[in-house]
Structure 1
Amino acid sequence: MAEGGTNKMSFHLEEKKGDLFSCPSTFSLAHCISEDVRMGKGIAVLFKKKFGGVEEIKKQGVKPGGVAVLDRSGRYIYYLVTKVKYSDKPTYDSLRASLEAMKDHCLKHQVRHLAMPRIGCGLDLLKWEEVSLILVETFHDTDISITVYSL
């Protein structure tokens, strides 16, 4: 594209205080899990209660760096698989690869709005400064809006 061209994407990253699950029901949701799909701590417990699908996720057989997806009435719930076991810690590379996989799914299925917690930054101990940069690097060339909720 020539400099000054009008092919401008409208990617937007917004941070909000509040409950992730209070976002509009038209938003798809994302969070990080391990390949063993334990979801026994943190926000993962709430995802498991709200959307179920543990066996459905396991059947997808997603490895670290991939994304498992549940379709809940046309609303996608993304499970970024960033580590093998729940007790492991993800790397920025595995998170980046999972985000790329999610981005591909979003583009294929016309997802325009994503809501997520500060992924990888709770129990997984990644630094938000790094993670937010990876989000911007991954999605800057899309027209997807991402709202990040923190309590």
Structure 2
Amino acid sequence: MPVILRCLKMSSRLYTPNKLTGQVRHSLLSVSSELKPVNIGEITSAEDSFRLNYVTGNLFSCPEDEALAHCISEDCRMGAGIAVMFKQKFNGVEELKAQKKLPGQCAVLKRDRRFVYYLITKKKASQKPTYDSLRQSLKDMKAHCKLNGVTRISMPRIGCGLDKLSWDRVSLILEQVFKHTNISITVYSLPKRAETRVIQENMRR
């Protein structure tokens, strides 16, 4: 028998369709057994893990490496509300003024291990902010956070004390601005009686 015919007969015996299918199946099973199962629900993007948390308590009791934020006017008066406490705790009024930030922007102080953000939402302390100026100042703050690796911010219910904005709308703006980031925001609220007392005391200063 010619050599070529003998080789063809041998190959047909060695690699019949059934045997070939069995070999492929065995190879696939071997490979799949080495792969770890993946739970799709556990895959989360680092750029899409924003969370909005709520805490009842003193804002300044938050961790000392956590950024802080609140709203002020362009003139940096900080003469009422929680702004008075920020001024007393972090000083820096001249440092803030030197940054020459306008409504819709954000001034920043660096204090120890944290950044302190001053959202400029209006021109003068006697005025009221708009939702648009608040949104723009939050976007400016977000840009600084991303550049500096800030992932945690604590704040009061910004714009909703003496400035009289609606928290329902403000919280929605926060979610819209930060929803595709890895930044977590914790909103601190005092118990109602304590909040009223603090506001009244600060208004008398």
TM-score by length of 2: 0.70
Mapped contact 2:135–2:173 kept (Cα < 8 A)? yes
Distance 1:137 1:74 in 2: 28
Does residue 146 of structure 2 align to residue 107 of structure 1?
yes
Q: d(CA) in 1 for partners of 2:110 and 2:87?
A: 14
Q: Which runs of 5+ in 1 are unaligned?
A: none
Question: Post-superposition shift, 1:50?
Answer: 0.3
Which one-letter code corresponds to 1:27 in the other structure? E
TM-score by length of 1: 0.95
CA distance in 2, matches of 1:90, 1:24: 29
Correspondence for 2:180: 141
Which residue of structure 1 aligns with residue 157 of structure 2?
Answer: 118
User: Is the CA contact 2:109–2:115 (under 8 Å) kept in the aligned structure 1?
Assistant: yes
Question: Could you tell me how far 1:7 is from its partner in structure 2?
Answer: 5.2
Which residue of the partner structure matches residue 93 of structure 2? 54
Q: Which runs of 5+ in 2 are unaligned?
A: 1-40, 191-205
Q: Secondary structure at the match of 1:142?
A: coil
Per the alignment, residue 30 of structure 1 pairs with: 69
Note the 1:14-25 alignment, pairs <5 A: 14-25=53-64
Q: Which amino acid aligns with 1:115?
A: S
Query: Aligned partners of 1:148, 1:101: CA distance in 2, in Å?
Result: 19
After TM superposition, give the deviation of residue 57 of structure 1 in Å. 0.1
Tell me, yes or no, if the aligned pair for 2:64 and 2:113 is still in contact at 8 Å: no
In 1, distance between residues paired with 2:56 and 2:44?
Answer: 32
Q: In the alignment, is residue 127 of structure 1 matched against residue 149 of structure 2?
A: no
Whether the aligned pair in 1 keeps the contact of 2:71 and 2:159 (CA below 8 Å) is: yes
> Which structure would you say has the larger RCO, counting Cα contacts within 8 Å and 6 or more residues apart?
1
| Higher-Rg member (1/2) | 2
Equivalent of 1:73, from 112, 120, 136? Answer: 112
More strand by share: 1
**Residues paired across the two proteins, number:** 147
- Deviation at residue 10 of structure 1 after TM alignment: 1.2
Distance (Å, rounded) in 2 between the aligned partners of 1:54 and 1:7:
41
Alpha-carbon distance in 2 for matches of 1:124, 1:106: 25
For 2:44 and 2:81, locate their aligned partners in 1 and report how far apart those are by CA, in whole Å: 40
Q: Which is helix-richer, 1 or 2?
A: 2
Summarize deviations over 1:109-141 as a string: whole Å, max 9, x none. Answer: 000110000000000000000000000000010
